[in-house]
Each structure stands twice: as structure tokens, then as C-alpha cells.
């Protein structure tokens, strides 16, 4: 069983990529829910919450854990790898590299939470690729809350997206990186504001490929005779757990 953790619903964008790519693997998703969003919380809080989630997933027998939260990855993954050296972890970071290598305008935009943009993962990517291209940053204010509330298609959310995305496009960005796993659920609206000729990039498919590679590396793959199971946990209530399940099987 592979454990997948996020602050809430957003990591289900990664869960869906794993579900498609690894049809024989059982998946256990833990969406905090009670303390979402993480993007504006202190590093100490995020690290504590993430460790609590990992302990819960390990107690259920998970063989590998995907931290399907850019903020939690930025803050906690180094600590997790040190504390649990025998557990394979896969984290997320904004897909700056593919955007930087394929931009034609020389300008890319990164949409992420404040905490992710302040994290070491992003800073290293910015230092590595920022000399070759212009990297514009924007916080998706209210994006996480909109997804958590199932309000992706409201006029209010459309205005939040416009405020964050239009300045990136007006400044010449031809690639927009989604640096939070909640943001792919707003992809339709982001693409509408960005317009034709602007590519929207998220990390979920790359994460699924990395998980597959690690399963092979550690000889952990489920057999093709396996009957996968899918379960959903939360630190919130039963209603939120059902919300996770419904969102997981929702077509984007």
C-alpha cells in the first residue's frame, strides 16, 4: 500500500495520477482537512502536522509515502527522510525545470503558496534556472480555500484566478507552473485566463513516474494478481473523509 498525504483535497490531483499509472497498487490517502491550508502556517506547525500524518500512514502498513503537498515537501521532507531512513518518500516541488527548458518567451510563471515559494526546493530551482530565464512568482490567494469548498467554478474564484494569473501572462510568461497540488483543480479557469499559447504545467504525472521507478528499485511493486484497495483518512470528520472519496473519483 502506498500512502499519499496532503493538507486537504489538493493531493488528490496526485492520487489520480497514481491511480491511472499504477492500477495494481493499493492507495491510502490522508487529507488533513482539520488544519488546511498549510501555506500560511509556520514551518514548525507544518513539520509537526506532516510527521503526525506519516506516523498514521506507517501504522496502517504503508510501504512508501508520497508527500502530495508542495508546502509540506518544502518544509518537512528532509526531516522525514532523516527520521525514517527505511521509508521511501516522494515529495513535490514546482516543475520549474521543464518550464525553463521549454519556454520560448524566456519568461515562466510559478503559482504556489507563500511557504512553498520561500522553501529551499524552490530557491534552489530559482538559482539554477533563473539566470537563463525570467521566473515570475505569484501566490494563489484563496485558491486552496476555493478547492476545499468545491467552489472551483464560481465567479468569485474566477476573479481570484484572474488577479493571480493575468499579471504573469501580461509580463510574457508562456509557461505557468502549478506549484500547489490544489491548483490543478482550477486548471480550467487558469487556462481560460492564460489564453492560447500558454502551457499549464503540474507535477502529478512526474510524481507518478518517480513512484513507479522507486517501486521497481526497491522491488516493491504489487503483482498483477493484486486487487487494489482505496481508502481515505483525515484528521477532520467522517463527512470530510467522504468528501475526499468523492473528489478522488471526480474527473478533471
Q: Do the two domains 2-92+204-248 and 96-201 of this chain adopt the same fold?
A: yes
pLDDT given at position 252? 56
Q: Which three cell numbers stand for residue 171?
A: 509580463
The Cα–Cα gap between 149 and 126 comes to 32
Which tens digit of pLDDT belongs to each residue from 50-80? Answer: 999 999 999 999 999 999 998 899 899 999 9
The Cα–Cα gap between 64 and 90 comes to 8
Which tens digit of pLDDT belongs to each residue from 115-134? Answer: 888 878 788 888 988 888 99
The domain spans of the chain are 2-92+204-248, 96-201
pLDDT given at position 115? 83
Residues recognised as catalytic: 69, 180
42 pLDDT above the threshold of 80: yes
Task: Please give the mean pLDDT across all residues of the chain.
Answer: 94
Model confidence at 251, pLDDT cuts 50, 70, 90, reads low
CA 75 vs CA 41, 67, 129: distances in Å? 11, 11, 21
Percent of the chain surpassing pLDDT 70? 99
pLDDT given at position 28? 98
Could you tell me the sign of the dihedral formed by the alpha carbons of 54, 60, 64, 69, in that order? Answer: negative
Which tens digit of pLDDT belongs to each residue from 193-250? Answer: 999 999 999 989 899 999 999 999 999 999 999 999 999 999 999 999 999 999 999 7
pLDDT given at position 190? 97
The Cα–Cα gap between 115 and 234 comes to 22
CA 130 vs CA 33, 117, 118, 175, 180: distances in Å? 35, 14, 15, 14, 20
Q: Which CATH class is domain 2-92+204-248?
A: alpha beta
pLDDT given at position 119? 79
Q: Which fold has domain 96-201?
A: Rossmann fold (3.40.50)
**pTM (two decimals):** 0.87
pLDDT given at position 93? 81
Amino acid at each position: 500500500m502506498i500512502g499519499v498525504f496532503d493538507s486537504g483535497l489538493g493531493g488528490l490531483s496526485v492520487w489520480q495520477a497514481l491511480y491511472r499509472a499504477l492500477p495494481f497498487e493499493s492507495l491510502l490517502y490522508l487529507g488533513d482537512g482539520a488544519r488546511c491550508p498549510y501555506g500560511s502556517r509556520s514551518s514548525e506547525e507544518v513539520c509537526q502536522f506532516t510527521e503526525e500524518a506519516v506516523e498514521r500512514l506507517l501504522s496502517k502498513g504503508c510501504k512508501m509515502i508520497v508527500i502530495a503537498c508542495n508546502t509540506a515537501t518544502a518544509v518537512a521532507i528532509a526531516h522525514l527522510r532523516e527520521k525514517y531512513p527505511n521509508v521511501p518518500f516522494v515529495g513535490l516541488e514546482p516543475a520549474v525545470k521543464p518550464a525553463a527548458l521549454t519556454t520560448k518567451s524566456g519568461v515562466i510563471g510559478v503559482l504556489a503558496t507563500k511557504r512553498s515559494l520561500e522553501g529551499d526546493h524552490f530557491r534552489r530551482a530559482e538559482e539554477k534556472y533563473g539566470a537563463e530565464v525570467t521566473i515570475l512568482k505569484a501566490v494563489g490567494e484563496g485558491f486552496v480555500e476555493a478547492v476545499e469548498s468545491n467552489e472551483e467554478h464560481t465567479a468569485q474564484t474566477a476573479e481570484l484566478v484572474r488577479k493571480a494569473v493575468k499579471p504573469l501572462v501580461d509580463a510574457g510568461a508562456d509557461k505557468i507552473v502549478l506549484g500547489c497540488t490544489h491548483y490543478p483543480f482550477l486548471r480550467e479557469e487558469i487556462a481560460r485566463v492564460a489564453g492560447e499559447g500558454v502551457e499549464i504545467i503540474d507535477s502529478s504525472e512526474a510524481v507518478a513516474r518517480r513512484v513507479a521507478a522507486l517501486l521497481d528499485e526497491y522491488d516493491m511493486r504489487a503483482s498483477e494478481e493484486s486487487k487494489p484497495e482505496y481508502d481515505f483518512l483525515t484528521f477532520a470528520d467522517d463527512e470530510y473523509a467522504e468528501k475526499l472519496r468523492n473528489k478522488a473519483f471526480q474527473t478533471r
